[in-house]
Amino acid sequence: PSQPAAAAPPAAPPAPVPTPADIASQPLNAAMLAAAPPDEQKQMIGERLFPLVSKLQPKLAGKITGMLLEMDNAELLMLLDDNKSLQAKVDEAIAVLEQHNAIPENLG
C-alpha cells in the first residue's frame, strides 16, 4: 500500500488584524507615517481623525474629515494632538459647507 504524502508543517497562525478601534487608539507620529506608503498615510490619519471629528460634529464627521484630509500631513498630525486647532478647522469646514449650501437643513 502506498504511503500518504507527508503533510505540510502547520502554517503559523495569521497575525491578528487590528480593528479600526485598535488603530485609532494608537498614537500616530511622523516616523510611523513616513514608514507607510503615501497612499496609506492619509488612511492612517483619517482613521484617527474621524473619531475626533465625530465628537465635534457627529452628523457631518465623514464630510468634514474628507475636507480636512486635503490638508498637508504634517498639519494633520498637529490637529490630532491639538483639540483647539482641530475645533478651529472643523468650524472652518462648516463655514465653507454653509457658504456652498452643502449642509442639509436638518443637519446644520
The pLDDT-based confidence of 84 (bands split at 50, 70, 90) is: very high
Helices (H) and strands (E) in the chain, counts: 6, 0
Q: What is the pLDDT of residue 96?
A: 94
**Distance from C-alpha of 18 to C-alpha of 25, rounded to nearest angstrom:** 11
Residue 8 has pLDDT above 60, yes or no: no
Tell me the domains of the chain and their CATH numbers. 59-101 (1.10.1900.10)
**Distance from C-alpha of 22 to C-alpha of 107, rounded to nearest angstrom:** 29
Inter-axis angle of helices 61-68 and 83-99, nearest 10: 100
**Distance from C-alpha of 56 to C-alpha of 23, rounded to nearest angstrom:** 20
Model confidence over 9-60: pLDDT tens digits? Answer: 555 555 555 555 555 567 788 889 999 998 899 999 999 999 999 999 999 9
Q: pTM value?
A: 0.71
